[in-house]
Structure formats: structure tokens, C-alpha cells
Amino acid sequence: MAELGRLAFFDPSLSASGRQSCASCHDPAHAYGPPNALAVQPGGPDLGRYGGRAVPALRYLRRVPIWTHTQPGTFKERVEIGDNMPSGGYTWDGRFDRPATQAAFPLLNADEMANADAAAVAARLARSRYAARFREAFGTDILSRPDDALAALGQALERFQFDDPSFQPFDSKFDRVLDGKAGFSEQEARGYALFVDEQRGNCASCHPVDKGANGARPVFTDYNFQTLGVPRNAEIPANADPHYYDLGLCGPLRRDKRDEKSYCGMFRTPTLRNVAIRGAFFHNGRFHTLTDALRFYVQRDTNPEKWYPHPDGPQPFDDLPVEYQGNVDRRNAPMTNHRGGKPVWNDAEIADVAAFLGTLTDADARPVPRAP
């Protein structure tokens, strides 16, 4: 089944354009992330449409927990009493509990592989070079049952992503340091210290660095959801409509949490493994260098004019409607700072943290090409 998933993962004939496979956006040469620095990737029947979110990498997703949340009161009350935050699930808004069910979305999404329905996917599978193997694995009549064929394809893709060792190599310099086979450089060591310092970066509160109780390697995410107030990205075509907002857990893609207003603007914390080779950062791809992403993180509140420019003065959190801006995290350092305050990192320290994050790059992962 994993081998069928591998064949399908690299098969562009499963798309309406005939030119887009899963690997087009999840390139193994780039840690199964995008092969370019675009904020959002092209797709659709003629590859002329664009999605609304940055494409995440697919490595280190095997331990993603199923979606969970608690609702004892308001979001503020949940934070203060220490209840669990919204957590888990696949994609930026956690709406799928398994890659097997997530796989149907890009196959049918008009901005991605753009199949009209499950029948179109089954017809493309029937013409594939591995159709006979697909029938052998799932039943001779599987391709005559489109919904079942789509579900079977999702199962095969899941098995490939879970079973193939290329999705979780754990062979970065950081892993060698954990094993006592390497050491940080002076700059990397300074960056690590800043990363875990609760009074400075406080990064490890959402991106844990310690091994699990059973010795499992850290994947640098707690799988929780946060509202960071990332600036609006004009590179996303949908954002040309001033009334359009991507509210994460509240939609437009996820629909079952629309009435939980305290969730609006929340997106799942991504793994930081291989973050240094990416060309687009945060859910909307707003930043294209790791340095800028880190600088925003520590200067969002101290220098809002840099991130939310407006003729009448900075308008913070401009990618959220006013009624949801209170959801933005201002309770956890360094998001507790204020305008005119001193950022917790200077430029040299940002470079140190970036150097540490570079140690999370897998041995075979290559940086994406940068725009000239």
C-alpha cells in the first residue's frame, strides 16, 4: 500500500491539468515542502489559480495528535486556568485527523489538483500505470466505486507518508548533537540559549526542544493553535477583496468551529524542523526570509509601524476583523511588549537564533531558490 501511495504521490496525471502531483508542492528535495519561495502555490485546471495558504512541509507529521479542544469558558479563561488549548489535526486549521482523509482535499480543490469529483479521480486512477496494482490491493471493482476509490487512494498516500523513512529522517545536526556526535558552534549555542529562554524568545514554549518520555526526538511543535496577528499578505489573490479574511479555525475552509469566536485567527503551530530552508513563513507566507520572520516575532508590538504600515499610523493585526483582534496573543513573552519598548532580541541575536534553527535542517534538504 505504501508503494502505491508513493506512485500516486509523484503522479501528475491525477490532476486536472495533468501537470501537478502531490510532489509539485511537497518536493522531497526540500523536505517535502514547496520548491520555491512563493507565498501560495499555483494550481487549478490550467495552473492559473492560487490557493490561500502557504504550503506546509510533510516531514515529521507522523505524531500529529487528533484534533482536541476544551470549552469551559472564554478563551481568556481557558488560558488563565491552564486548560488545554485547541490542538492537533492536520493542515493549518486541523480539520483532518488523518492524512488519509486530508488527501481528498487537494485532489478535489479547484485551486489545486482540481478534479471535479471522486468519479474524476477514479477515472484517472483507472488510466494510471499502476491501475492493476491498485485493483489488486483494494479489490477488482474498486475503481467502479468512486468514493471508495478516493478513500483507498487516501489510505495509500497515508501509508507512504507514515512508512517511508524519508518523511522522518531525524538526521540533522541538532540530532547529532542530541546523540553526542557533534557540538553547536558558538553562534548556534547562543541562538539555542535565546530560543529556550522564557524571558527572551520563549520559543520552546510552543516549539519544545526536549526528548519525549520514551526518548522520542523533538519535532519542535506542541501542535497547539495560536493567533499571532501576522500581517496581511497582498501576494495572495484572495486578499484583493478587502472583505475577505482567512480566520483559520473559524473558516473559510474549516466550518465546524465558526461559532467559537475565540478561535478566530488561530492556526496550528508548525514544526520548525527544516524551517531554515523555506522561502515562505507563517500560514499566509507573508515573510520570505527566516530573519524577517524572527524579526516580526520580537518586534510586532515594539515597532508596529514596520509591520502594519498605514498613512494614518500603524493598524496592527490588519489581517483580522476588528472584532477578533482581541484573540491575538499578547499574554506570552515576547508578545507582552509594548510600542516603543526594546525588542527582546537585537539583530545580532536574531542572527544567532537563525543559526541555531539552521541546525534543524535534514541532511538531504536543500534551500528553495530565492527570487532575484
Q: What is the pLDDT along the chain (372 residues), one digit of tens a residue?
A: 999 999 999 999 999 999 999 999 999 999 999 999 999 999 999 999 999 999 999 999 999 999 998 654 444 444 444 456 899 999 999 999 999 999 999 999 999 999 999 999 999 999 999 999 999 999 999 999 999 999 999 999 999 999 999 999 999 999 999 999 999 999 999 999 999 999 888 999 999 999 988 889 999 999 999 999 999 999 999 999 999 999 999 999 999 999 999 999 999 999 999 999 999 999 999 999 999 999 999 999 999 999 999 988 899 999 999 999 999 999 888 888 999 999 999 999 999 999 999 999 999 999 999 765
Structural domains in the chain plus CATH codes: 2-56+91-167 (1.10.760.10), 173-358 (1.10.760.10)
The model's pTM? 0.94
Q: Work out the angle at residue 211's Cα, subtended by the Cα atoms of residues 205 and 216, and round it to the nearest 5 degrees.
A: 125
Q: Residue 162 is inside which H or E element, if any?
A: helix 146-163
DSSP reduced 3-state for 61: coil
- Alpha-carbon distances of 91 from 58, 99, 183, 223, rounded to whole Å: 10, 9, 34, 11
| CA atoms of 304 and 248, how far apart (whole Å) | 22
Q: How many CA atoms lie within 13 A of 196 on its CB side?
A: 10
The beta-carbon contacts of 321-324 under 8 Å, at least 24 apart in sequence, are 321/245, 321/264, 323/261, 324/247, 324/250, 324/261, 324/264, 324/265
For residue 218, give the amino acid letter. P
Query: Cell 477583496 identifies what position?
Result: 241
Amino acid at 140: T
All three cell numbers of 329, joined, read 496573543
Q: Identify which of 213, 217, 228, 320 has the alpha carbon closest to the alpha carbon of residue 269.
A: 228
- Beta bridge partners, 267, equal 226
Q: Say if residues 200 and 194 touch (Cβ distance below 8 Å).
A: yes
- Based on the number of CB atoms within 10 Å of its own CB, is 174 exposed (0-12), middle (13-18) or buried (19 or more)? buried
- CA 51 to CA 66: how far, in whole Å? 25
